[in-house]
């Protein structure tokens, strides 16, 4: 089963001509991908992931040099960022897709009423490292606003339907969309 899942996941990401992070097309998720997203969106999974899952996932991603993650079907990058208050290096696994040569992430915090810590950190220190599938690159983060934010969030909701649930659960909190642009190759 694991082999089949890995093959399906590999088909989601193609080598990018503009950056080292594999491209992930947000408009054509596979049935396996959608099933994985649905499973990850259950109340039980969401509570587990918010409390413990990201820590386990971070360790798995680091141990496998980004080739395996807990989700198996959702494409993930490991974001390494500087703490806004502490100045210490932090690592956070994030689901992503690509758009116009950028890595796009959603600061959903599983639909919580606050932005995730990583969002505050990258807004304070936008120069970060992203790693996946054996590649590590330096990127700069930028929060998307206006029509571009809305366009990307609509793509995200089609790609991972859970984001529509998270948007509803977040209430009055507007979920940020963060784009990472590579600054150096390799």
Spatial separation of the C-alpha atoms in residues 168 and 176, rounded to whole Å: 14
Tell which residue, 42, 35, 95, 44, has the closest CA to residue 70. Answer: 95
User: Which pLDDT belongs to residue 12?
Assistant: 44
User: Which pLDDT belongs to residue 172?
Assistant: 96
Nearby residues of 130 by Cβ (< 8 Å), 6 or more positions away? 21, 77, 78, 79, 80, 103, 136, 137, 139, 180
Tell which residue, 49, 124, 36, has the closest CA to residue 87. Answer: 124
Query: Encoding tokens for residue 145?
Result: 């606003």
- The pLDDT tens digits along the chain (186 residues) read 332 233 233 334 444 556 789 898 887 667 766 776 676 667 777 677 666 666 666 666 677 666 666 555 678 899 999 999 999 999 998 999 999 999 999 999 989 999 999 999 999 999 999 998 889 999 999 999 999 999 999 999 998 888 999 999 999 999 999 999 999 654
* Ramachandran region, residue 72 (left: φ > 0; alpha: ψ -120 to 50; beta: rest): left
User: Which pLDDT belongs to residue 88?
Assistant: 97
Contact assessment for residue 107 and residue 175, using Cβ atoms and an 8 Å cutoff: yes
Q: How many Cα atoms are found within 13 Å in the side-chain-facing hemisphere of 115?
A: 16
Please give the domain boundaries of the chain with CATH numbers for all domains.
2-182 (2.30.110.10)
pTM over 0.85: no
């Amino acid at each position: 089963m694991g082999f089949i899942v890995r093959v399906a996941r590999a088909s989601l990401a193609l080598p990018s001509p503009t950056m080292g992070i594999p491209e992930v097309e947000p408009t054509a998720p596979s049935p396996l991908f959608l099933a994985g997203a649905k499973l990850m969106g259950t109340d039980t999974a969401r509570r587990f992931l918010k409390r413990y899952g990201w820590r386990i996932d971070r360790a798995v991603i680091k141990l496998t040099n980004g080739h395996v993650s807990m989700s198996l079907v959702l494409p993930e990058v490991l974001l390494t960022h500087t703490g806004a208050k502490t100045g210490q290096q932090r690592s956070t696994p994030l689901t992503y897709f690509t758009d116009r040569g950028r890595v796009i992430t959603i600061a959903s915090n599983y639909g919580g009423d606050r932005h995730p810590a990583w969002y505050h950190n990258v807004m304070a220190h936008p120069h970060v490292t992203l790693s996946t599938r054996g590649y590590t690159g330096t990127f700069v983060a930028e929060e998307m606003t206006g029509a571009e934010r809305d366009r990307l969030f609509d793509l995200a909701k089609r790609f991972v339907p859970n984001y529509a649930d998270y948007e509803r659960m977040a209430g009055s909190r507007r979920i940020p969309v963060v784009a990472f642009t590579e600054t150096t190759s390799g």
